[in-house]
């Protein structure tokens, strides 16, 4: 085989041509961006009901070409990249609840939904959830999708064997404070050795903080994580650990699944969507669970929003679309399809949501989640909450898992917070 320089050049060109062809072949299929008719919506798998998306497409087919795109991977970083790059920004973007604090200070990237008449819809949604979509400057960035009220999942057969209340109404009424919940944990442990009411200590801390109306940083960029509400939550988690109510089992391992199936972890404090996780991870416990109110009062974990970006050419149409997709009936559909707990109280009475759930022994779980969802305390979500909350929960874990002295752990957490606060420009 002889090869001249020209031959080699040809080989190289073939490669380049293949590249160019690849670009061309795919280039034709690229949409030219948001024209009047195209309406690009970004969300993530499980973020909206597939059926509602499909219906929306059909319903608005005359006025727009809705392209609902599921984004995989790390959603926020893709959205932020396109926004910063000012290219290929979707018209409508889903925003995850845990990311809201980082979007809200940049409300200039989004259309203020008040200008589109959002006020008309306000009384149809949970007030606290509505407020979470509003930026510090008063403009409305996010329109409510779902929320995640926290409840007490428990296995009644185990509770009964331990001499504890076991009917949902009784558990809700008799284990309504943390103190009573811990006492029940002690009884559970005494009567059934090896059984724990809590899998880990961090959930106690997290839920307790969420039950308060304040978090780690306030509106004036001042650190409040050293104050009473956080300290109480910390002490509560420490107390639970010290009284031996917390298992040493690592979440998500076979140990955890096996212990749950064998009734050694018969209780979980978790959000509404965790029902899906329980069903998936321990399908054999079907019928063995019930749901009761969370001790210490209602709180929330998770839940997301839809927003209209500044790149959208037809905000009115987009707004019409999202208000329809997120009305009470479609939110009920979202709960049925994807365990998205509605932020529209009118959904709670609908027949689809009042179906007895066989996994929970035929209980109508809405009786627990519905009332909880209405009474969730409103807290200011600062963009610095994650940076300044993390050291505290890290140190709590050092205490509960690695056995660090809790006073030392708290002190270390506070000194980390002081350092970080200084670095990010939060007053301490």
Partner 1 sequence: MATAPVVETHPAPLAAAPAPHPKKGVLSHWRLYAAISPFYLLFLAFGLIPVGFSLYLSFHRWDGLGAMEYAGLSQYRYLLADGQFWSSIGNTVVIWALATFPMIFLAMVTAVMLNSAVRFKNVYRFAFFLPNVTSIVAVAIIFGSVFSTNFGLVNALLQAVGLDQVAWLNTPWGIKVAIATLMTWQWTGYNAIIFLAGLQTIPGELYEAARMDGAGPVQTFFRITLPLLRPVLLFVLVISTVTGLQSFSEPQVLLQTTDNNSSFAGGPGHAGQTMVLYFFQQTFDNNDFGYGAAVAWGIFLVVVLFSIVNWRLVQRRGED
Partner 2 sequence: MASIKGSRKRGVALHLVLVVGLLISVFPFYWAVIMSTHASTEIFSYPPKLLPGSHFAENVRHLFDNVDFFGSMANSLLVAGTVTFLVLFFDSLAAFVFAKFRFPGRRFLFALMMAIFMVPAQLQAIPQFVIMAKLGWIGSMTALVVPAAANAFGIFWMRQYMRSAIHDELLDASKLDGAGFLRQYWHVALPVVRPGLAFLGIFTFMGQWNDYAWPLIALTDPHNVTLQVALSQLNGVHGTTDYGMVMTGALLALLPLLAVFAIGAKQIIGDLGKGAIR
- What is the contact surface with partner 1 in residues (CB under 8 A)? 74, 76-77, 80, 83-84, 102-103, 105-106, 109, 200, 202-203, 206, 248-255, 258, 383, 386-387, 389-390, 393-394, 397-398, 401-402, 419, 423-425
Specify the length of the chain in residues. Answer: 428
Q: Which does 276 bind (CB under 5 to 8 A by kind): partner 1, partner 2, none?
A: partner 2
In contact, 381 and 363? CB cutoff 8 Å: no
Three-state secondary structure call for residue 182: helix
Q: Smallest gap, in angstroms, from Cβ of residue 130 to partner 2?
A: 22
Three-state secondary structure call for residue 374: helix
Q: Smallest gap, in angstroms, from Cβ of residue 97 to partner 2?
A: 11
Three-state secondary structure call for residue 253: coil
Residue 31 or 105: the one with the smaller Cβ distance to partner 2 is 31
Q: Smallest gap, in angstroms, from Cβ of residue 122 to partner 2?
A: 27
Residue 84 or 227: the one with the smaller Cβ distance to partner 1 is 84
CA distance 298 to 234: 18
Q: Smallest gap, in angstroms, from Cβ of residue 325 to partner 2?
A: 18
Q: Which does 287 bind (CB under 5 to 8 A by kind): partner 2, partner 1, none?
A: none
Q: Which does 157 bind (CB under 5 to 8 A by kind): partner 1, partner 2, none?
A: none
Residue 227 or 251: the one with the smaller Cβ distance to partner 1 is 251
Residue 107 or 330: the one with the smaller Cβ distance to partner 1 is 107
CA distance 154 to 272: 13
CA distance 137 to 189: 50
Residue 16 or 32: the one with the smaller Cβ distance to partner 1 is 16
How, if at all, do strands 341-342 and 150-154 pair? unpaired
Q: Which does 207 bind (CB under 5 to 8 A by kind): partner 2, partner 1, none?
A: none
Q: Which does 417 bind (CB under 5 to 8 A by kind): partner 2, partner 1, none?
A: none
CA distance 418 to 428: 6
Sign of the CA dihedral 6, 9, 11, 16? Answer: negative
Residue 166 or 215: the one with the smaller Cβ distance to partner 1 is 215
Q: Smallest gap, in angstroms, from Cβ of residue 271 to partner 2?
A: 8
Q: Which does 390 bind (CB under 5 to 8 A by kind): partner 1, partner 2, none?
A: partner 1
Q: What are phi and psi of 81, to 5 degrees?
A: -60, -45
> What residues make contact with partner 2 under the rule CB under 8 A?
3, 5, 8, 11-12, 15, 18-20, 22-23, 25-27, 29-31, 44-47, 67, 69-73, 77-78, 81-82, 84-88, 254, 257-258, 261, 273-284, 302, 338-339
What stretches of 89-245 show up as alpha helix (H) in DSSP? 100-103, 127-132, 156-161, 168-174, 178-191, 202-210, 228-242
Q: Shortest CA distance to 180 belongs to which of 264, 301, 292?
A: 292
- Return the structure tokens found at 56: 């929306």
Count of Cβ atoms closer than 10 Å to residue 420 Cβ: 17
Count of Cβ atoms closer than 10 Å to residue 313 Cβ: 14
Q: Which does 57 bind (CB under 5 to 8 A by kind): partner 2, partner 1, none?
A: none
Q: Which does 67 bind (CB under 5 to 8 A by kind): partner 2, partner 1, none?
A: partner 2
């Amino acid at each position: 085989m002889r090869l001249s320089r020209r031959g080699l050049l040809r080989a190289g060109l073939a490669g380049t041509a293949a590249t160019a062809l690849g670009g061309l072949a795919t280039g034709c299929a690229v949409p030219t961006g948001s024209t009047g008719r195209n309406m690009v919506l970004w969300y993530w798998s499980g973020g909206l009901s597939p059926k509602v998306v499909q219906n929306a497409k059909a319903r608005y087919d005359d006025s727009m070409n809705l392209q609902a795109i599921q984004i995989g991977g790390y959603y926020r970083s893709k959205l932020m990249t396109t926004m910063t790059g000012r290219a290929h920004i979707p018209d409508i973007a889903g925003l995850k609840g845990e990311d809201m604090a980082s979007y809200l200070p940049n409300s200039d990237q989004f259309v203020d939904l008040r200008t589109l008449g959002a006020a008309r819809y306000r009384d149809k949604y949970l007030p606290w959830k509505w407020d979470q979509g509003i930026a510090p400057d008063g403009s409305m960035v996010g329109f409510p999708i779902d929320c995640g009220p926290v409840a007490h999942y428990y296995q009644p057969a185990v509770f009964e064997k331990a001499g504890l209340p076991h009917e949902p109404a009784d558990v809700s009424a008799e284990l309504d404070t943390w103190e009573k919940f811990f006492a029940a944990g002690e009884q559970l442990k005494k009567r059934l050795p090896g059984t724990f009411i809590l899998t880990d200590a961090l959930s106690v801390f997290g839920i307790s903080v969420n039950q308060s109306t304040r978090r780690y940083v306030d509106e004036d960029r001042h650190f409040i994580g050293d104050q009473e509400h956080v300290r109480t939550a910390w002490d509560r988690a420490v107390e639970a650990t010290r009284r031996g109510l917390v298992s040493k089992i690592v979440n998500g391992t076979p140990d955890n699944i096996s212990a749950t199936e064998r009734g050694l972890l018969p209780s979980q404090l978790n959000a509404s969507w965790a029902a899906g996780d329980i069903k998936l991870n321990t399908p054999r416990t079907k019928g063995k669970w019930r749901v009761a109110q969370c001790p210490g009062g209602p709180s929330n974990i998770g839940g997301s929003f839809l927003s209209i970006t500044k790149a959208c050419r037809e905000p009115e149409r987009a707004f019409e679309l999202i208000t329809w997709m997120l009305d009470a009936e479609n939110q009920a559909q979202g709960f049925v399809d994807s365990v998205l707990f509605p932020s529209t109280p009118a959904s709670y009475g609908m027949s689809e949501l009042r179906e007895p759930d066989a996994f929970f022994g035929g209980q109508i779980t809405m009786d627990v989640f519905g009332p909880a969802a209405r009474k969730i305390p409103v807290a200011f979500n600062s963009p610095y909450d994650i940076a300044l909350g993390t050291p505290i929960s890290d140190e709590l874990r050092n205490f509960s898992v690695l056995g660090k002295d809790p006073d030392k752990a708290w002190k270390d957490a506070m000194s980390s917070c002081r350092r970080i606060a200084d670095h990010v420009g939060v007053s301490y």
